[in-house]
Each structure stands twice: as C-alpha cells, then as structure tokens.
Amino acid sequence: MQLDAATQQTIDTWLNGNYDQETKAEIQQLVAQNASVELTDAFYRSLEFGTGGLRGIMGAGSNRINKYTIGTATQGLSNYLLNKYPGEKIKVAIAHDSRNKSDEFAGIAADVFSANGIHVYFFKALRPTPELSFAIRTLGCRSGVMLTASHNPKEYNGYKAYGADGGQFTSPDDTMVMDEVAKIKNIDDVKFERIAENVELIGEEIDQQYLDAITKLSVSPEAIERQKDLKIVFSPIHGTGITLVPKALAQFGFDNLTVVAEQEKPDGNFPTVVYPNPEEKEAMTLALKKAQEIDADLVLATDPDADRVGIAVKNNDGEFVLLNGNQTGSLLINYLLTAWDEKGKLDGDQYIVKTIVTTNLIEAIADAKKVKYYNTLTGFKYIGQLITSLQGKKTFIGGGEESYGYLIGELVRDKDAVISCAFIAEMTAFYKDKGSSLYNAMLDMYVEYGLYKEELVSLTKKGKSGAEEIKAMMEKFRSNPPQTLGGSKVKTLKDYELGVETDLIQQKQSKLDFPKSDVLQFITEDGSIVSARPSGTEPKIKFYCSVNAPLSTREAFKDVDAQLAAKIKSLMEDLQA
C-alpha cells in the first residue's frame, strides 16, 4: 500500500490513541482492504475552515467529520475564546439541523464548551442557521456553532462557526481559531466531559423573539393585508425550515399556505431528493407538482439549515418557472428599494450588498435608486462582516448572492431563508396588489435595466487528486488567460489571488481592494463576465457566466433570453478550448 509518511503517521496516531473501538475498526477495515485512496482522503490533512466553516464527509479520519474532529474544533474554538476574553463568563449558542448525527455532534460541541467552563445555550431541537445567528446577538454570546453541512449531500456534515456579532468568522479570527485547533496534537487535550450546569436549553422563547423582530421589518403590510390569501406552496426539503418558515409567513399575515407533505418531516436521509439543494431542479419537483395541483401563486423551498431558498413563479403561459439566485436576489433588491422609495424612506444613508460573482443587475438597480452598493468576496460571512462594520453608521436594507442566499435587515449576520421567504411572499403580494405578478415584475425590471442572464457551470473533482486538478486548472487560466470570449475581446482580467486588475487593452495594472482569494474574472468588451474559482465547500471548480442585452418589451423576453443563452454557451466553449 502506497501512503505518504505523514498520512501513515496520522493513521497510526488514530489507531494507537484514545479513539473508540468503532473508529479504530473502521480504519482497520480500510487498512485490511488496502484502500489507499480512501485512507489518503481521510487522513492526508485536517479539515480546514472553507467558505462555510468546516465541512466534510462523515467517517473516521482527520479529514472527515466525526466526534473527534468536531471535538477538536470546539476545543480550539474554546481556547481561542478563553484567550480573547480572559476572566469573563463566556457564553456561546449551539444549534443543529436535520442531518444524520447533527444532534449528536451538537451534543459533543456542548460537552467540550461546557467542560472548558463556557456557558452553552443549547437549542433543544433542530433550528435554522439564521436563528442561531440571531440568538448569538440576542443572548450576548461571544460565539456560536451550527452543526450542518447546509445543502451538501447526505454523507456530509459540518460546523459553521460564528463570532460575537453573529457572523461567521472572517480574517484574522478565522485563522486564530484554526491555529488554536492546529495546536491540539493529542486527542487527550480535548475535554469531552460535559459539565451539565453549564448547558442551558433554549427554544420557543427565542423563536418568538426572532419572529416578532423579523415581522417588524415588513415594508408592505397593507399589501399583505389585501393579498393575505396569496397561495403559497412551501417545502422544507426535510430540513429545519419547517420549524419557522410557516410561522413567519403566518406572522407576516399570510393565511393560505400549503406545505409539501412528503418533504415536511425532518429526515437526514433526504429520502425524496437526490440532493437537498433548492438550486437543483430535481429537489423542487414535488413542490412544483403541488403548485400545479392547487394553482399556487408562489413556490418556496429551503435547504436543510434554512439559509437558502429556491423559488418558482407562474409565467404568462400559466407554467411554473424556477428562478435562479441572481433573479430572486435582483427582484428582492428591486422590490425593497422600490417599496422604501414609495414610503419616502430612502435618504442616502442606506446600502445594499452583493458578492463579486453575483449579477451586476443589482448594481444597475442600486445606481438608478441612488442607493450605495458594496461587493464582497464569495461567502456570506463577508456580507455579515460588512454589515457589522457599518452598524450604526449606515442602514443595511438587504443583500444577497447568486447561490440562493439573501438577507433583509440587520437582525441576523448570515443569509436567512426564513426572512427571505417572508419577504419573497411580501413582494409577490405587493406586485399582485398592483395588478401585476412577480413574473411580470421580473420582465419589467429587465425592460428597465437590461436583461442580465447568468449561468453557473460546476465541475466536480473529488479527493486529493481532484483538488490538485482544480489547482492546475486555476494556474492554467492565470498564466494563459483567454483572449476572446463569446466573440468579444477580453479587456480586463481581475486576479483576486494576486490582488491585481489588468487592463489588457491599455496594458495597465491597478490594485484590487479585496482580501486575497483564489478567484479569476475575465471581463469582455461587450460587458460579459466569466469568473472562475474553486468551491470552498464542495470538491468543485465553479465558472460563473454573466451576459446582458437591452430588452425593449416584456414580449421580447423569450427571444432575447434565447440569444443570451446561446452566447453563454459560446463563452463557455471558448473558455474550455
């Protein structure tokens, strides 16, 4: 069997150390089978904090999610907190989603925090990720963790780690936590013995505070009052959305909700879908079926930890169409700015946020409404960080990213599908109340600002060899960038890893004002953008394409849309040539 020395050493540590029999048996079985690929993947490194915290496949190994890696991460986080807040009675909050073992891992995190003398507010049953962010802020916690792998396949689990502001850790604290985790060389240095008096159960009282707070954000309660029978279909896709989305919609005033029965029950095997990800068309099938059956106005579906939401609306031919994250995000921002404007609430102090791989349509909308916009790197944690840095100086109206994540208001510092569902329903009611529909509101938005069409192409490359392949692809684009894309010259290259923007026509370079990140962007003379980056949560390389063209009328939509689809295809062919 061919294993490198460091990997072999880690395996030996696990086989000889204080790990339980079940774990050792799992490793020994792989050793007996000479499963060098599996062993390498499981042990060649320790799990690292990526875009969305720790995330990995469940199983034995330093590069897997198991009670030992969760325990070690929590010990590292505890050490960081104890250093940062010496002499203080530190409080943290813990929640978990519906995945297999999420509850068990949440218990381990509680054991370790409490054993370190940290007070734990422990959600006694599954809850959405955004509610954890809210709880951290409301309960004056210094940190919090959410046990979830978000929308990843069922084999995965993970650990989203939050700071005192309710946002996921960003630099320099993310590295400080990781350094503390890396310092733990021996599993015996992790305190697994729970101190029961340090663990306090929480639940309904936080739910109610959260629901009351988000209801106050509502901008168009009159429209909802008149359209309260808006027919909404909702699916939690076997996740945590069920705990709060129906209540939030009810509290906003909607009283005609149908929950997709087959997907209502939380279940870590996600038995009715291939992936529990509302970005996947297939995951929306049952919700769409229900919507057709009852002739609904709106379809909403949330991912397992209820921070993402996918939606579908009826087009003018009476068919339900799925909107992508750029469309929903643009619609939300357009609605919010319109409604704030109508109420005379825009006074120059407000702002919105998107990420660099999210549609520039949002910039066009903000410009037209004279509202300031910001771009951040991919990762909602950067949006959260920005909100915290501007808190008290400017007002955050809303923000979002292409990967189905949005947030309205400053109560939470992560994407929030509960708030988003309420506001997507509110905007649908708003346009219906004006005699239009959400679909027509989208067409009108395109007529006003131009039709922006985006597509995400991801290539999956698993394991150590996959990671190397992705690295090589990025290097190739970096050293040999495309000259033309979709028939138009590439005029700008942005390299966020080097922090440099190059004007390829004038051969001029300038600095990019962003933290370093492995992202490349090619911008053509006709305004198309292609961004390439390795995913930080899944073994994938991602290509984000964005093209746009003017749209003269609602009726011209299908033709212009088809032209833009063809353009994206040719762009992607050029890129892969």
Ligand X SMILES: O=P([O-])(O)O[C@H]1O[C@H](COP(=O)(O)O)[C@@H](O)[C@H](O)[C@H]1O
Binding site for ligand X (CB under 6 A): 51-52, 150-151, 307-308, 378-380, 401, 403, 405, 535-538, 542
Is residue 323 within 8 Å of 442, Cβ to Cβ?
yes
> Tokens 């939050």 sit at which residue?
162
Q: Is 150 designated active site? A: yes
Q: Say which DSSP state 116 is in.
A: T
Smallest distance, ligand X to C-beta of residue 356, A: 11
Phi-psi region of 217 (alpha: psi -120 to 50; beta: other; left: phi over 0): alpha
DSSP string of 125-182?
S---HHHHHHHHHHTT-SEEEEE--TTS-TTEEEEEEE-TTSSB--TTHHHHHHHHHH
DSSP string of 333-361?
HHHHHHHHHHTT---S-EEEEEETTS-TH
Smallest distance, Mg ion to C-beta of residue 304, A: 7
Among positions 267, 305, 416, 454, the unique one binding Mg ion when judged by CB under 5 A: 305
CB-nearer residue toward ligand X: 51 or 338:
51
CB-nearer residue toward ligand X: 52 or 163:
52
CB-nearer residue toward ligand X: 396 or 446:
396
Smallest distance, ligand X to C-beta of residue 360, A: 17
Amino acid, single-letter form, for residue 306 = A
Is residue 321 within 8 Å of 304, Cβ to Cβ?
no
Amino acid, single-letter form, for residue 29 = Q
Which of 98, 150, 218, 531 is flagged as catalytic?
150
460, β-bridge pairs: 540
CA–CA gap between residue 54 and residue 64 (Å, rounded): 10
CB-nearer residue toward Mg ion: 71 or 278:
278
378 binds, among Mg ion, ligand X, none (CB under 5 to 8 A by kind): ligand X
* Angle subtended by helix axes 21-32 and 5-16, to nearest 10: 140
Among positions 7, 23, 102, 150, the unique one binding Mg ion when judged by CB under 5 A: 150
403 binds, among ligand X, Mg ion, none (CB under 5 to 8 A by kind): ligand X
CB-nearer residue toward Mg ion: 414 or 495:
414
Round to the nearest angstrom and report the end-to-end CA distance of the chain: 38
380 binds, among Mg ion, ligand X, none (CB under 5 to 8 A by kind): ligand X
Smallest distance, Mg ion to C-beta of residue 141, A: 21
Q: What angle do CA 537, 54, 121 make, to 5 degrees?
A: 130
Smallest distance, Mg ion to C-beta of residue 303, A: 4
Query: Which tokens belong to 577?
Result: 């040539």
233, β-bridge pairs: 258, 299
CB-nearer residue toward ligand X: 308 or 432:
308
Amino acid, single-letter form, for residue 373 = Y
Q: Which residue, judged by CB position, is nearest to Mg ion in the bound state?
A: 150
Q: Which of residues 275-304 bind Mg ion (CB under 5 A)?
A: 303
For 314-347, letters b (16+ CB in 10 Å) and e give: bbeeeebebbbbbbbbbbbbbbbbbbbeeeeebe
CA–CA gap between residue 547 and residue 529 (Å, rounded): 7
CB-nearer residue toward ligand X: 71 or 405:
405
Among positions 111, 307, 401, 538, the unique one binding Mg ion when judged by CB under 5 A: 307
Query: Which tokens belong to 521?
Result: 């962007």
Q: Is 401 in the site for Mg ion (CB under 5 A)?
A: no
Smallest distance, Mg ion to C-beta of residue 128, A: 9
Smallest distance, ligand X to C-beta of residue 87, A: 33
Catalytic positions are 150
Residues that bind Mg ion (CB under 5 A): 150, 303, 305, 307-308
